[in-house]
């Protein structure tokens, strides 16, 4: 029989600033409201949230690695990964097996992170059918241990960047969804906008320049050990049947829970730049690496020449 936890023993989230919201509390985001994912809400302390709310006075965030290796963070990450299940990675370890020895696994991960000896395993790559077509797309399956560490990193890093993301960016964000992006476009059409342009970035997650992405992360994070760990994940490589190990010299980690956050970080300057255009309205979904522009006159030049790291698409 499964042993139920006593309600008093379940960790409770700390008090948070009035404007901080739990992802999923309301049907849509409100301008100026900070939304947090469930894991971030439980792990971020009141002083950290207060610093986040006031913008940390323009300074970068230091000493974050101890929040990542905290047993409480790792346990929550392990429970999150186990709940999602999924196939095993290269080491063959299943989520069920890891969950059964949770205390041992958490202790090992904590020690490796503390000693700066954590080394991600290559991602197991398989090919699956694309919906609605005959083409196939690659799917990356990390090891369960790597999933735990990435989930822990996401819970600590996400609020730092979430605070300043563009208001009309909806993809992969707490309390936001592609449905809300569609509703926003419909509202603009009701207000008299006549043209809607849907743009899709082919192979976006696989083509992000890693050096530029890391530079964007460094603008807010100064903890060298967190940056080093993130770089290891970016360059861990993939293992494919009959092809062996292949380096990942561009893009974000395949199948990684942290990849959508990294994708949003890289495109955030473009979102802000397009949001300032006077002759069009910009709505980014990122669920399929796509964005939408709504405008009254027919758009003549949608792609901004000064967007960092971007050139006009073919």
* Residue 67 pLDDT class (50, 70, 90 cuts): very high
Does the pLDDT value for residue 3 go beyond 50?
A: no
Burial group, residue 52, by CB count within 10 angstroms (0-12, 13-18, 19+)? buried
3-state SS, residue 197 = strand
| pLDDT score of 228 | 97
- The three-point CA angle 255-121-257 to 5° equals 25
Question: Which is more confident, 60 or 243?
Answer: 60
| Mean pLDDT on 245-266 | 85
* Residue 285 pLDDT class (50, 70, 90 cuts): low
* Tokens describing residue 293: 């522009």
Enumerate the β-bridge partners of residue 44.
none
* Residue 213 pLDDT class (50, 70, 90 cuts): very high
* Residue 10 pLDDT class (50, 70, 90 cuts): very low
| Mean pLDDT on 263-290 | 73
| pLDDT score of 154 | 96
Question: Which is more confident, 194 or 219?
Answer: 219
Q: 248, 235 in Cβ contact below 8 A?
A: yes
Does the pLDDT value for residue 307 go beyond 70?
A: no
Q: pTM of the entire structure?
A: 0.79
Q: 18, 32 in Cβ contact below 8 A?
A: no
Q: CB-side exposure of 164: number of CA atoms within 13 Å? A: 17
* Residue 184 pLDDT class (50, 70, 90 cuts): confident
Rounded CA gap, 176 and 159, in Å?
Answer: 14
65-79, 86-100, 191-205: least confident range: 191-205
Residue 314 gets which letter from DSSP?
-
Long-range contacts of 24-30 (CB under 8 A, 24+ apart): 24/174, 24/175, 25/175, 26/175, 28/175, 28/176, 28/180, 28/183, 29/167, 29/175, 29/176, 29/180
| Mean pLDDT on 274-287 | 65
CA-wise closest residue to 78 among 148, 138, 12 = 148
| Mean pLDDT on 75-93 | 94
* Residue 27 pLDDT class (50, 70, 90 cuts): very low
| pLDDT score of 293 | 60
């Amino acid at each position: 029989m499964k042993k139920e936890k006593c309600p008093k023993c379940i960790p409770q989230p700390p008090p948070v600033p009035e404007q901080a919201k739990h992802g999923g509390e309301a049907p849509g985001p409100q301008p100026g409201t900070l939304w947090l994912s469930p894991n971030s809400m439980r792990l971020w302390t009141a002083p950290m949230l207060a610093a986040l709310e006031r913008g940390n006075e323009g300074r970068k965030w230091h000493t974050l690695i101890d929040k990542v290796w905290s047993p409480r963070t790792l346990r929550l990450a392990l429970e999150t990964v186990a709940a999602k299940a999924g196939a095993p990675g290269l080491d063959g370890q299943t989520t069920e097996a890891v969950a059964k020895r949770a205390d041992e696994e958490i202790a090992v991960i904590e020690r490796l992170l503390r000693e700066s000896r954590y080394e991600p395993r290559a991602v197991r790559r398989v090919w699956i059918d694309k919906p609605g077509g005959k083409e196939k797309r690659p799917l990356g399956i990390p090891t369960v241990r790597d999933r735990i560490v990435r989930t822990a990193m996401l819970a600590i890093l996400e609020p730092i960047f979430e605070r300043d993301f563009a208001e009309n960016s909806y993809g992969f964000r707490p309390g936001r969804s592609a449905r809300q992006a569609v509703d926003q476009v419909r509202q603009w059409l009701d207000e008299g906008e006549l043209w809607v342009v849907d743009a899709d970035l082919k192979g976006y997650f696989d083509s992000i320049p890693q050096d530029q992405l890391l530079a964007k992360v460094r603008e807010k994070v100064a903890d060298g050990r967190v940056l080093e760990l993130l770089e290891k994940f970016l360059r861990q490589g993939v293992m494919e049947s009959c092809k062996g190990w292949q380096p990942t010299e561009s893009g974000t980690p395949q199948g990684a829970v942290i990849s959508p956050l990294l994708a949003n970080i890289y495109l955030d300057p473009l979102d802000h730049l397009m949001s300032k255009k006077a002759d069009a309205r910009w709505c980014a979904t990122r669920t399929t690496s796509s964005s939408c522009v709504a405008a009254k006159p027919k758009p003549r030049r949608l792609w901004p020449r000064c967007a960092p790291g971007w050139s006009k698409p073919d």
